[in-house]
Structure 1
Amino acid sequence: MNLIFEGVKVGLILAMLIGPIFFAIIQAGVEEGFRAGATVGLGIWVSDFLFIAAVYFGLAYISQVVEGPNFGLYLGIGGSITLSAFGLGALLTVPKAHELPEWSKETVRTSSYSGLWLKGFLINTINPFTFFFWIGVASTVVVDGEMELMEARYFFGGILGTIIITDLLKVLLAKRIRRVLRPIHLLWLRRISGIALIVFAAVLLGRVLWMM
């Protein structure tokens, strides 16, 4: 039970971070509704699950890859390009509701579920923070702490369960926020999300270049 609680604490810390994942979930939830936001979240959760499985069962191999020449640089550049692409997409497009002749508080889904899932998956996967976070957790908590497989399941289950619950709460909040918004507000939300993603991309690229 203590391991689950420890995992929940780590999950809550992650949930409070304001980053590209936060903006992606909120934007989808406000513009396209709960299912759209949850689908973006699903892509994120699958990515996290794959990271957990990979670092736990292949930590030694992954550590060798990470220590390879220019790994952080390539990962950072890939993440920067991905975030910039999504950011530019948000800046250069207009929410569907903004184009409607009559404003409705009901959400309008304009993206495919596969596209929403892929967005969440890519933003989370091609993110050096996510990659090194899970490696750090696996190496310090699981390996150094000599955690057994069943114990690791409880610990990582606590983290992932907390992430899922808090992301769903964010989507619910985003859907409720829409009720007090007007079309111009949706437009500004998309612009802010796009700018935020581009800023995160620039900061990420700057960090990896600085570390060279």
Structure 2
Amino acid sequence: MIQDILTGIPLGIFLCFMIGPVFFILLETAAVKGIRAALVFDLGVVIADIVFICIAYFSSYRLINSIKDEPALFIFGGLIMATYGVISFIKLKKASTSEKVDPEVELIKKNYGSLFIKGFLLNFINVGVLGFWLLIIITFGPQLDLQTSRLLVFFGSVIGTYILVDLAKMFLAKRLKSKMTPKNILKIKKITSILLVLFGLIIMSQGFFPSDQKFVKGVINKIEHQK
């Protein structure tokens, strides 16, 4: 059991520093809205990961094989992310020019339900995350003898480490709050919106250029070889 926990810790640390939209939005949320808001957002991300882990573990090879060459999934997911970024940017533009809305109140307001959904969807619409968890199961499953109890300990260690390291990132980001003037908050949120658009376009490109879907396809090939 101890060995399974120690095996999962490095992977949890690695996950925390994978550069993607979740990485930037988590830091932004902690700096602008505080630790509690960032935790709610992070919980949404973690739940999406758990759903993907369950799908990767319980789904049949036929189901996974049916989605591996489906570019529409990448295009759809990337389009949602890019659209969300564009809409957020436009709203921020309007908020910065509106005289009726107090920009400080508008930009830092907390809606925990929306934050949770935002974290969940930003992670869930990225099909590559499913491929990543499939690869992890294929790589580490045999080492754990594919025993459900050992897999639960392993993935519990991964997720637990992920949350703990994310907490450290949140506290570091929170220290910047003294510099979070309405003007700076607006700039950070605009930059985050632009990054969402860019990441969305990158995901969409995997649908328009199927040969670039090497990651997911490599995972599927490994599954097929293990039949």
Q: What TM-score, normalized to structure 2?
A: 0.80
Q: How does 1:2-151 map to 2 (within 5 A)?
A: 2-56=3-57, 58-59=58-59, 61=60, 63-68=61-66, 72-94=70-92, 100=102, 109-143=108-142, 146-151=145-150
2:179 alignment partner, SS class? coil
Aligned length: 206
> Are the aligned partners of 1:66 and 1:72 in contact in 2 as well (CA < 8 Å)?
no
The corresponding residue for 1:204 is 203
SS for the counterpart of 1:93 is helix
Q: Distance in 2 between matches of 1:85 and 1:25?
A: 19
Moved more, 159-168 or 169-178: 169-178
Q: Unpaired segments of 5 or more residues in structure 2?
A: 212-227
Amino acid at match of 2:27: I
Specify the SS of the correspondent of 1:179: helix
Q: Aligned partners of 2:68, 2:144: CA distance in 1, in Å?
A: 30
Distance 2:63 2:130 in 1: 12
Whether the aligned pair in 1 keeps the contact of 2:31 and 2:173 (CA below 8 Å) is yes
The two structures, once aligned, show a CA RMSD in angstroms of 2.6
Using the aligned pairs only, state the percent identity: 27
Aligned partner letter, 2:172? L
| Range with bigger deviation, 168-177 or 139-148 | 139-148
What displacement does 1:78 show? 2.5
Which runs of no fewer than 5 residues in structure 1 stay unpaired? none
> Stretches of 4+ moved more than 3 A in 1?
69-72, 97-101
Contact (CA 8 Å) 1:33, 1:108: kept in 2 or not? no
Query: 1:90·1:193 contact (CA, 8 Å) conserved in 2?
Result: no
